[in-house]
Amino acid sequence: MACLLLASCYPLATGSVKWRIVWKPSLKDYKKEIIQTITEEAQPSEKPLNIILIVADDLGKAEVSAYGSKRVPTPNIDQIGKDGVIFTDAYVSSPVCAPSRAGLMTGRSQNRFGFETQSYEQYPSNMIEYVTGRYLAKTENWVIMSKPVFPREWQIIRQGLPPSEVNIAELLKAKDYKTGITGKWHLGHHRRLKPLARGFDYQYGFYGASTIYTPEQETEGYATHIQNTFSSKYQWKNERNELSAILVNDKRIIEEDYLTFAIRDQANNFIEAHKDEPFFLYVPFSAPHVPFQAPDEYYDKFDHIQDDNKRVYYAMISALDDAIGAIHQKVKDAGLEDNTMIIFISDNGGAEYTKATDNYPLKGGKLTQFEGGLNVPFVMKWKGQIPAGTVYNNAVSSLDIFTTIAAAVDLKVPKDRVYDGVDLLPYILNDSEMAPVPHDVLYWRADHIWAIRKGIFKLIMSNRDGWVELYNLKEDKSEMYDLRKEHPEIVQTLIAEHMEWQKELPEKPLWPKFMDYRYVIDSTEYMFPP
């Protein structure tokens, strides 16, 4: 009996060492050589191009009026597309925040460097915590895995964008760009993974998945909606502590302003400070990710909405849109419009599990590899280069942003690694000599979930749970009609192509997941890893 008790408690504190995140020092050193070579080959620009990359957090197409939404007017996001190009069929490389951002910032499928699923701030540290979480705690639709893992703290903290990867900021330093980030990082908090160690000269924001928008939960002048869910309780409990703390250049500060507006102001201050030199500004807003808080003046704009959850959510999006408009206006006021590329995208689809949104007519949402999780709003502006009012209808990817920026500033991408993105400008301008479309095939993998889009067909499956679905996206963008029985030969071909692609990937991800999310769509239950 005593032995059984000891076994049930092992390990009490030290954790298991069955997996480790191993960075390859040789790759990191080689990266320095690659960047040095790019720097030496870089030619000075007659008129340097500034880059502003704005990322929303969990904003679906159903909340952007440029895509036909009637829920929340987003005139400022829309204006970027009106002044340049709106992509009607844009994909991200993951339906979850951190992996999506890893792909976005590197131009490479994050699977290529082991960033397969969400990075975790906490794991169960022993059998008692594991059993409690799996069998006793009210985790709602979050399902703890049947095989426990107990990583040590030093292993957990190494989760993030590996040092061997080249991100946009690091690439642009080759042309002596001033680089800044204002907002959510979520790509690692080890000292070698933080923004200041990854090519950024200036950092404002937080390192984790979320933070509250005001100094305290209940702040005068702001509307708050606290959801009674497992994940929401965790986020509210964190408030602005640990990875949710607000930092300037890695030093904690007390931010009194509404976070969306603070990110806006920090971005505009950066533009003002560097308007006379080429700059790259990365503005990853935290809105409209939970927890839900909005200024009263925006909350009051939606008094026709009876559902308080949705009302606060819509108010957050309206505030976000105005913040984006203010950044756009700052570019104009600073006289930089002609030599600034502005890009806006969301990191994944709307989070339907919040009950504040749905992605209709797209199926599913954040966490799922259905269109509602992967197909996102994406607009881009470069005055004088991209004709105003351009609409591009072929499939594009967030992975294209890295490559497009590199080409626009006349920088070569590293030759020692595979890039999955392409330069979109020739396609937008109907000047491509390489291929008729940017991507004939797109791949996704998150643990047991595989997905592939080739031409008009998209296959999604779980190799663990044994289900496969096939859709014709040209005829059925809502993924309502499963065609696997009608086209078994297409199913087998796409599975084979996906397996061939996986041969290019590492043998296993850098870290294991420890939960799935139970998602029910039209009475069908799915398990998706975060």
User: In terms of pLDDT, which residue wins out, 125 or 405?
Assistant: 405
Indicate whether 157 pLDDT > 70.
yes
470-503 residues labelled b (16+ CB within 10 A) or e (exposed): bbbbeebbebeeebeeeeeebbeebbeebeebee
First to last CA, the chain: 38
Report residue 14's pLDDT band, with 50, 70 and 90 as the boundaries: very low
Helices (H), 10-47: 25-41
Question: What does the pLDDT look like over 267-283, one tens digit per residue?
Answer: 999 999 999 999 999 99
Whole-angstrom CA distances from 272 to 53, 260, 266, 279, 330 are 16, 19, 10, 11, 8
Residue 12 has a pLDDT of 43
**How far does Cα 410 stand from its chain's mean position?**
26
Beta-carbon count within 10 A of 189 CB: 21
Percentage of the chain modeled with pLDDT above 90:
74
Report residue 131's pLDDT band, with 50, 70 and 90 as the boundaries: confident
Q: d(Cα 296, Cα 311) in Å, to the nearest integer?
A: 11
Mean pLDDT of the residues in the chain: 91
Report residue 133's pLDDT band, with 50, 70 and 90 as the boundaries: confident
Work out the average pLDDT over 74-99. Answer: 98
Residue 27 has a pLDDT of 54
Residue 26 has a pLDDT of 53
Indicate whether 101 pLDDT > 90.
yes
- For 504, residues 6+ apart whose C-beta sits below 8 A from its C-beta are 112, 418
Model's pTM, two decimal places?
Answer: 0.94
Question: What does the pLDDT look like over 291-309, one tens digit per residue?
Answer: 999 999 999 999 999 999 9
Q: Which of 51-60, 73-82, 210-219, 440-449 has the lowest mean pLDDT?
A: 210-219
CB 20 within 8 A of CB 157: no
Work out the average pLDDT over 356-364. Answer: 96
Work out the average pLDDT over 108-113. Answer: 97
Residue 329 has a pLDDT of 98
Indicate whether 150 pLDDT > 90.
no
Indicate whether 184 pLDDT > 70.
yes
User: In terms of pLDDT, which residue wins out, 384 or 139?
Assistant: 384
Indicate whether 386 pLDDT > 80.
yes
Indicate whether 450 pLDDT > 70.
yes
Indicate whether 8 pLDDT > 60.
no
Q: What share of the chain is helix, strand, coil (3-state, %, to 5)?
A: 35, 20, 45
Query: What sign does the CA torsion over 358, 361, 365, 368 have?
Result: positive
Q: d(Cα 378, Cα 116) in Å, to the nearest integer?
A: 23
Query: What sign does the CA torsion over 270, 273, 274, 275 have?
Result: positive
Work out the average pLDDT over 154-171. Answer: 92
Percentage of the chain modeled with pLDDT above 70:
94
Considering only CA atoms, give the Rg of the chain.
22
Indicate whether 376 pLDDT > 50.
yes
Question: What does the pLDDT look like over 496-524, one tens digit per residue?
Answer: 999 999 999 998 899 888 889 999 998 99
Q: d(Cα 159, Cα 357) in Å, to the nearest integer?
A: 30
Q: d(Cα 455, Cα 529) in Å, to the nearest integer?
A: 26
Work out the average pLDDT over 199-203. Answer: 98
Residue 349 has a pLDDT of 98
